[in-house]
Amino acid sequence: MDDMNDMRLVERAVDDKELKIAADGVDVFYGDTHAIKAVDVNILDKTVTAFIGPSGCGKSTFLRCLNRMNDTIDVCRVTGNILLDGEDIYHPKVDPVQLRAKVGMVFQKPNPFPKSIYDNVSYGPRIHGLARNKSELDEIVEKSLRRAALWDEVKDRLTAPGTGLSGGQQQRLCIARAVATSPEVLLMDEPCSALDPIATAQVEELIDELRERFSVVIVTHSMQQAARVSQKTAFFHLGELVEFGDTSQIFTNPKDPRTESYITGRIG
């Protein structure tokens, strides 16, 4: 795992990737609170984009705008444009259910359903009708669990409850569950904050592999993690997007003094 070295800033090729999500002038209000202020971000396909920033800076809120999970909060109001492949996801014709099938999400705390491992992974494909029969479903489950680097550990106990796995395994199960619906974008909200360092390393390694197929957006508190797994980094502070650029540039040569203060540990 030496390629997971803490502050290694790799020569990451982030050129000529397709634009996946374009956010333009996004504002979010919680009642009277202005939580996100005029954020513009371009998220590329097959790239890991990290959102960093101090607690309460709005990075999770912004992440939850990308698959409209904020819709479930009554007082939350989103303005501005967020385009997924050129289509406005807040367009009145868009059903958030269909959007979330394309933009999957992994949460901070592992939250497997209290069902079997198999049922956890097969739930998404089942409700979206991705498999015509049992054998296709089996195939999707195996493929997803393999992608989440969990297959070897659980292949003999697929009927065991998902909640019986260890924390790291549960989080990988949640990733497998998200991957099983074949999303185009995978949002991860501090996926390692409840995990021990070994499980964290496994999940980080996994994120790096997922980049080959998906556009991954990850919110993290750990700058080392952002540096290790991402190619693009966005720094949020007090609801504003302070700086957005290549990870190597943000960590070695930040343009904004606030970014510099944060990554050197003076604010946050």
Check residue 177 for interaction with another protein (CB under 8 A).
yes
Which neighbouring-strand residues pair with 189?
219
The CB-of-146 to another protein minimum distance in angstroms stands at: 19
Check residue 97 for interaction with another protein (CB under 8 A).
yes
Check residue 7 for interaction with another protein (CB under 8 A).
no
The CB-of-214 to another protein minimum distance in angstroms stands at: 15
Check residue 257 for interaction with another protein (CB under 8 A).
no
Query: By CB under 8 A, what part of segment 180-209 binds another protein?
Result: 181
Please check whether residue 1 is in contact with residue 205, taking contact to mean a CB–CB distance below 8 angstroms: yes
Check residue 159 for interaction with another protein (CB under 8 A).
no
Check residue 174 for interaction with another protein (CB under 8 A).
yes
Check residue 29 for interaction with another protein (CB under 8 A).
no
- Write each residue from 69 to 88 as x if it is in contact with another protein (CB under 8 A), else as -, in one continuous string: x--x-x--------------
The CB-of-77 to another protein minimum distance in angstroms stands at: 15
